[in-house]
Amino acid sequence: DEIGRLVVSCPDGPGIVALISSFLYRQGANILQSDQFSTGSRGGRFMLRTEFQLGRVRERLPELERQFEFEVARRLRATFRVRAAATPARVAIFVSRHDHCLLDLLWRQRRGELPIEVVTVISNHADLERDVAGFGTPFLHIPVNPAMKAEAELAQLDAVAGKVDLVVLARYMQILSADFLDDVGVPVINIHHSFLPAFAGAGPYERAKARGVKLIGATAHYATEDLDEGPIIEQDVVRVSHKTGIRDLIRRGADIERSVLARAVDWHCADRVFVDGSTTVVF
């Protein structure tokens, strides 16, 4: 319980690093690792993520936050967040019938690979209930159909709003409304089964096969109102050939999907992802 994390975003200008690092030094914190990026020294935005060592960091957080606001953030017109690295992010996973992304996240959580605590799994089907139970994670079956989509979303909101720091759509085959995305109040990460912007929309593997591409991919991105248009966090691809039938394409794609999503969730929950307009900065 000695590692803390500070993330800062502000208009770029001279002296920012000096101001922040001096603040940490005065607090007795030792910087372990630091990343920074500027989108341009004139009129650009400066982003910084620092991991530091500081005794009893968790109990000192409120005071640190107050002081940083007063001594640094105001002068830099900065948004910032300071956290204890040991505190896992509370996550809700939405899923339909495909198990691969869900199980990979649950398994990595159990291994201690991800800084997350999955507090609930919500599905529009009951199929995966038993698998989820095997991990000791609560499972909530909320059926969704066109006639009662609004009710379903209310039930989903009720289950997650204020209770989680992140919603992960782990191959959740329903479109969430703009209202839901607004009301949920936390970031939503989606995994799309293509190398966006190629094959946005439905049936990406079928369309990839028809177009004869030699690589297929997967994309993890923040969900926004514009489907498949949100800022991309991570992507990866795998080689295919004319021999790869549509079933094999889907299988190989599944392997890419689960690893891309796991990396995106890991990086987001470790405060390594900054949204910069329609793109991301990933430290």
Examine residue 199 and tell whether it contacts its own copies (CB under 8 A). yes
* Count of alpha carbons within 13 angstroms of residue 216, beta-carbon side: 31
Work out which of 105, 152, 188, 232 binds its own copies, going by CB under 8 A: 232
Residue 228 bears catalytic tag: yes
d(CA 79, CA 267): 19
Examine residue 217 and tell whether it contacts its own copies (CB under 8 A). yes
Q: Which stretch binds its own copies (CB under 8 A): 25-33, 150-158, 163-171, 184-192?
A: 25-33
Work out which of 57, 103, 106, 176 binds its own copies, going by CB under 8 A: 103
Site for its own copies in 42-61 (CB under 8 A): 53
Site for its own copies in 104-133 (CB under 8 A): 107, 111, 113
Q: Which of 270, 268, 272, 271 shows the shortest CA–CA distance to 283?
A: 272
Q: Which stretch binds its own copies (CB under 8 A): 59-67, 97-105, 141-149, 162-170?
A: 97-105
Q: Which CB sits closer to its own copies, 71 or 276? A: 276
> What does the DSSP assignment read for 110-172?
HHT-SSEEEEEEEESSSTTHHHHHTTT--EEE----GGGHHHHHHHHHHHHTTT-SEEEESS-
Q: How many helices (H) and strands (E) does the chain have?
A: 9, 13
Examine residue 185 and tell whether it contacts its own copies (CB under 8 A). no
**Tokens 């066109």 — which residue?**
146
CA 77 to chain centre: 25
* 274: β partners: 281
Return the SS3 of 99: coil
* Residues 241-269 as b or e (16 or more Cβ within 10 Å = b): eeebeeeebbebbbebbbbbbbbbbbbbb
Examine residue 11 and tell whether it contacts its own copies (CB under 8 A). no
* 46: β partners: 10, 38
Examine residue 32 and tell whether it contacts its own copies (CB under 8 A). yes
Site for its own copies in 263-282 (CB under 8 A): 276, 278-282
Q: Which of 274, 263, 157 shows the shortest CA–CA distance to 218?
A: 263
Examine residue 203 and tell whether it contacts its own copies (CB under 8 A). no
d(CA 20, CA 72): 7
Examine residue 210 and tell whether it contacts its own copies (CB under 8 A). yes
Q: Which stretch binds its own copies (CB under 8 A): 12-20, 82-90, 136-144, 163-171?
A: 12-20
Examine residue 242 and tell whether it contacts its own copies (CB under 8 A). yes
Work out which of 31, 140, 154, 227 binds its own copies, going by CB under 8 A: 31
Tell me the catalytic residues. Answer: 228
Kindly list the residues in this chain that would bind its own copies in the complex (CB under 8 A).
13-18, 21-22, 24-25, 28-38, 41, 53, 99-100, 103, 107, 111, 113, 134, 195-199, 210-215, 217, 231-232, 234-237, 241-243, 251, 255, 259, 276, 278-282
